[in-house]
Amino acid sequence: SLDVDAIIAHADQYPKPAGVHFQYGTAGFRTRGDILESVVFRVGVLAALRSKKLDGKTIGVMITASHNPEHDNGVKLVDPRGEMLEAAWEIHATTLANAQTSQEFVQTVQTLISAANIDITKPANVVYARDTRPTGPALVAALELGLKAIGAQGRNEGVQTTPVLHYFVRCINSKGTKDSYGDDSVDGYMKKLSESFKSLVAGKTRPEPLIIDCANGVGAPTAEILVKYLGESIPLILHNTAISTKGALNYECGADYVKTQQRLPPSLNGVLKPGQRACSLDGDADRLIYYYLDERGHFHMLDGDKIAALVAAFIIDLVNLAGLSGDDFKVGVVQTAYANGSSTKYLADRMPVKCVPTGVKHLHHAAEHYSVGVYFEANGHGTVLFSPSAVEAMKSHKPSTPAQASALQHLINLTELINQTVGDALSDMLLVEVVLAHRSFTGAEWNSLYNDLPNRLVKVVVKDRNIFKTEDAERRLVSPVGLQEKVDELVRKYDGGRSFVRPSGTEDVVRVYAEATSRPQTDELALKVAQLVY
Ligand code: 16G
Ligand code: ZN
């Protein structure tokens, strides 16, 4: 049975800070990095329990705060197929993190063991990694003590991007099975991406150099390795790679900066030439935003919605060309309410589009319902999922012309290029580059697939964001009662107007989104809805 004394003795080394409430939210636990050690210790114990519950399957733990400031940090768990932790366990995580004392912590552990019917004699395996944040090493030490306290087997993967860690988890658990996902090493990841990329662009014109803003984060060392594997196949120029410069991470750079500021990272001023393509990763390299300057030097952003439009239309074409389309082979797209109305229209004219609440797990699960499910959040997080039966159909399909054969081979290569466990900025970047090469598109041509409606996102600090409750994939408020009707009344006054209000899952604020056909109208609508919320 459980070695209660050992757990208490170890837990005493990481007492919970008083007066703080931790919550396992949309992105795991996330707060200031210097108050997270007790949480991460306990996550070590929880990850081991999750592994035991799943018969010793390997669970992942990623220590990162993504696009958030350098002093923040966070931790999240990865389930055996490389996916986000099952929702029911998010609640267990919150309960364990908030136990006031070591004794109370052990009691909550014991309650969980009996409630979830966990056989604690089973083995426990956990693989973990961290991003480049200065608080990372101390948090890894706390995690390792948690694993030791419960006798779990840990595997330290050092500094890795979030999607590489997800990839490892899936590879480890599928090793030797018919669903084997790849080799569980950096070399395996790099070979998988670079070899499929090279096959997909074989015979295409080599593009102009692409600038990558690495957000001064973990994407930089990973991209440096990828550049070597890609060799001559694509010219990449890395910027913002200063991972040891204090305060540089995500500071005036990175995907979140570009998306929220809708402007070029200042460090690329004078570097990016008109017409040249550039992209930004976020601090853990799971988000991607593209952009370019036109001849007049005006900035144009190609966000997650534009990526979805580019990629989904390409995949539909390949599926048709390969002769795979039919009732049992459905390509669909999943978005959130933040998707630009023009992107939804563009996509819905071509394929089924579903809207789900914010957060990768919602998008991911909805995308699993299609043969090929494309999902992207406007913020640049997304990927493409190929269902097992779709992969089966591709493998057994007998092409009847050389054109069919080539489209089919492209689709099969895409299943290798795309990181299907979670959004992966580097894999998505290569995916975008493949489509641009096949379409012979410049950034401007890609941008012209549709014109974004002007949009505005506003943060409103309120007394209690928990009174804001939504329905219909967060597009409508049910509480406070009567507020949605007031929003509707305002929206009706604006040409092409759309607006919604939702509580943030990661910050203590309420977010207001608005779009309309003109910039001044959009700004006015956002402001007026925000005033309703105060
Ligand atoms: C987290 C989510 C992201 C979502 C964002 C919304 C994951 C891995 N990340 O970063 O998908 O867009 O939260 O934040 O699920 P908000 O609730 O504060 O608007
Ligand atoms: Zn991220």
Q: Report the nearest atom of ligand 1 relative to the CA of 423.
A: 8
Contact 128, 22 (CB under 8 A): no
Cα separation, 236 vs 248, whole angstroms: 21
Q: How far is CA 45 from the centre of its chain?
A: 25
HSE-CB for 201 with a 13 A CA cutoff? 24
Cα separation, 478 vs 483, whole angstroms: 8
Beta strand spans in 131-252 (E): 153-159, 210-213, 236-239
Q: Is any atom of ligand 1 closer than 6 Å to the C-beta of 505?
A: yes
Q: If you write DSSP's letter for every residue of 161-181 in order, what string do you get? A: -HHHHHHHHHHHHHTTSTT--
Q: Is 342 a catalytic residue?
A: no
Q: Report the nearest atom of ligand 1 relative to the CA of 363.
A: 11
Which regions of the chain carry the CATH code 3.30.310.50? 455-533
Report, at the CATH architecture level, how domain 455-533 is classified.
Answer: 2-Layer Sandwich (3.30)
Question: In testing the pocket of ligand 1, which one of 162, 256, 360, 507 has its CB within 8 Å of the most ligand atoms?
Answer: 360
Nearest listed ligand to the Cα of residue 27: 1
Among the options 38, 51, 66, 427, which is catalytic? 66
Q: Is any atom of ligand 1 closer than 6 Å to the C-beta of 506?
A: yes
Which regions of the chain carry the CATH code 3.40.120.10? 4-159, 187-301, 304-425
Mean per-residue pLDDT for 377-391? 97
CATH numeric code, 187-301: 3.40.120.10
Q: Output the average pLDDT for the chain.
A: 97
Q: What is the DSSP letter of 232?
A: G
409 φ/ψ angles, rounded to the nearest 5 degrees: -65, -40
Mean per-residue pLDDT for 89-115? 98
Cα 65 to ligand 1 centroid, rounded to whole Å: 11
pLDDT tops 90 at residue 26: no
Nearest listed ligand to the Cα of residue 511: 1
Residue-wise pLDDT for 365-382, tens only, equals: 999 999 999 999 999 999
Q: What is the DSSP letter of 353?
A: E
CB count within 10 Å of CB 463 equals 7
Q: Hunting for tokens 């200065």 — which residue is that? A: 134
Q: Hunting for tokens 């999240």 — which residue is that? A: 76
**Beta pairing class for 372-376 and 382-386:** antiparallel
The percent of residues above 70 in pLDDT, for the chain, comes to 100
Report, at the CATH architecture level, how domain 304-425 is classified.
Answer: 3-Layer(aba) Sandwich (3.40)
The pLDDT-based confidence of 506 (bands split at 50, 70, 90) is confident
Residue-wise pLDDT for 268-310, tens only, equals: 999 999 999 999 999 999 999 999 999 999 999 999 999 999 9
25 φ/ψ angles, rounded to the nearest 5 degrees: -100, -160
pLDDT score at 195: 98
Residue-wise pLDDT for 393-421, tens only, equals: 999 999 999 999 999 999 999 999 999 99
CB count within 10 Å of CB 507 equals 14
- CATH 3.40.120.10 at 4-159, yes or no: yes
Q: Report ipTM (2 d.p.).
A: 0.97
